[in-house]
A = this chain, B = another copy of it.
Amino acid sequence: MVRLADVARAAGVSTSTASRALSRPEMVAPKTREHVARVAAAMGFQLNATARALTTGRTGLVGVIVPTLANPFFPPIVTGVQQPLTEAGGNVLLGVSDHSEDRERDLVTQLESRVDGLVLVAPVSGDAALRAAAERLPVVTVDRAVPGLPAVLVDIPSGVRQLMAHLLDLGHRRIAYLGGPPGSWMDRQREKAALKAAADAGARLTVLDPVPPQIDAGLAAAEHLLRHEAEVTAVLAYSSYVLLGLLMGLPGAGLRVPEDISLAASDDLTVIGMTRPGGTALQVPLEEAGRTACRLVQESSGNGTRPRRVRVPTTLVVRESTAAPR
């Protein structure tokens, strides 16, 4: 592998000049600069990112830790983070925590010395652990607010209000909230917003046991729901996947959607628009959230402005899974 020193020698300059010719062009005479560039190109030389990172202290990498990639909610966020980096030659260092706090902690410590900053998507660790990490490098959370840390938050309260308003407008007064994942910060926000919206409208909101964001969880929930069926005319599920499960499970039990029961989800994966009936859901600008998170990381590596908190808005998409109750 050809090193900078080789290029320098071949070009008849010192390594410092060669270095500057490539990394700080404005510090070098145009003639020298071009000569070095030409020689470097001819030799097929490329700066060694590792060595460079060691001296400058900046790696050009941003770590992104997601709970999983199996939930289509997360890949778009990763894509979003990647975008602002591309222009600067940066890259994404990916970590998948599998929803495990231990794994998440390990990932954070592993990545700490390899990245310029960290984007934690829906982290499961406690506030204290996250704040501790933030003392050592820029940390931005997505879908999770930690006091004192910058964050990108989907504006769930307003989104849930939109959903609830939609259901209430249709005339529903007995609604079930099917939340999850168990223990999630986000979920508590959703639940709170839903409860408030219901209370404000004098409607009843039954909070079901939280479930993981998987289709079979939706199926199981459908079963569970049957016991409550007489009591509710609509279900608000936190995940499109759960909603898909409900869509599959309820008809088998003789409940038609939306005639017998209305369904809505608080996210909007591509698939939910493709079902019959299509699912009413909340569209979330996930890539945008990722881009924003990345910019917040870049901001906070620079000047010491105080942590920002950015909310990204949701859009209600009404499809066929919701209708007026009988």
Residues of A at under 8 Å CB distance from B?
Answer: 1, 46-51, 53-54, 59, 61, 68-70, 72, 75-76, 78-79, 82, 89, 91-96, 107, 109-114, 136, 215, 244, 247-248, 270-271, 274-276
Which single member of B47, B94, B275 contacts A82 (CB below 8 Å)?
A: B94
Known contacts A91-B111, A109-B46; A76 and B69 CB within 8 A of each other: yes
Which single member of B68, B89, B95, B114 contacts A50 (CB below 8 Å)?
A: B114
Decide: A76 and B82 in contact? CB cutoff 8 A: no
Known contacts A54-B50, A275-B276; A110 and B89 CB within 8 A of each other: yes
Q: Could you say which of A76, A215, A270 has the most chain B C-beta atoms within 10 Å of its C-beta?
A: A270
Known contacts A51-B54, A54-B54, A69-B78; A46 and B112 CB within 8 A of each other: yes
Known: A61-B93, A75-B75, A89-B110; 16 extra A-B contacts, CB below 8 A, are A49-B114, A50-B53, A51-B54, A70-B75, A79-B96, A82-B95, A91-B94, A91-B95, A91-B110, A91-B114, A92-B94, A215-B274, A244-B274, A247-B274, A271-B274, A274-B275
Decide: B59 and A50 in contact? CB cutoff 8 A: yes
Would you give the shortest CB distance from A10 to chain B, in whole angstroms?
19
Would you give the shortest CB distance from A48 to chain B, in whole angstroms?
5
Q: List 17 A-B contacts (CB under 8 A).
A: A49-B113, A50-B50, A50-B53, A61-B93, A70-B79, A89-B110, A91-B93, A91-B94, A91-B95, A91-B107, A91-B114, A92-B95, A93-B93, A215-B270, A248-B274, A270-B271, A275-B275
Q: Considering the chains assembled together, what is the distance between the CA atoms of A82 and B68 in angstroms?
A: 11
- Chain B positions within 8 Å of A89 at CB level: 110
Tally of this chain's copies: 2
* Least CB separation from A69: chain B residue: B75
Q: Considering the chains assembled together, what is the distance between the CA atoms of A128 and B18 in angstroms?
A: 30
- Chain B positions within 8 Å of A59 at CB level: 50
- Chain B positions within 8 Å of A244 at CB level: 274
- Chain B positions within 8 Å of A1 at CB level: 136
Decide: A70 and B76 in contact? CB cutoff 8 A: yes
- Chain B positions within 8 Å of A275 at CB level: 274-276
- Chain B positions within 8 Å of A79 at CB level: 68-70, 96
Decide: A96 and B114 in contact? CB cutoff 8 A: no
- Chain B positions within 8 Å of A48 at CB level: 113
Would you give the shortest CB distance from A40 to chain B, in whole angstroms?
13
Decide: B54 and A78 in contact? CB cutoff 8 A: no
Q: Considering the chains assembled together, what is the distance between the CA atoms of A274 and B274 in angstroms?
A: 9
- Chain B positions within 8 Å of A109 at CB level: 46
Q: Considering the chains assembled together, what is the distance between the CA atoms of A271 and B111 in angstroms?
A: 33
Q: Considering the chains assembled together, what is the distance between the CA atoms of A47 and B95 in angstroms?
A: 19
- Chain B positions within 8 Å of A107 at CB level: 91
Which single member of B50, B110, B270 contacts A113 (CB below 8 Å)?
A: B50
Q: Could you say which of A54, A61, A69 has the most chain B C-beta atoms within 10 Å of its C-beta?
A: A69
Q: Considering the chains assembled together, what is the distance between the CA atoms of A275 and B247 in angstroms?
A: 10
Q: Considering the chains assembled together, what is the distance between the CA atoms of A1 and B113 in angstroms?
A: 10
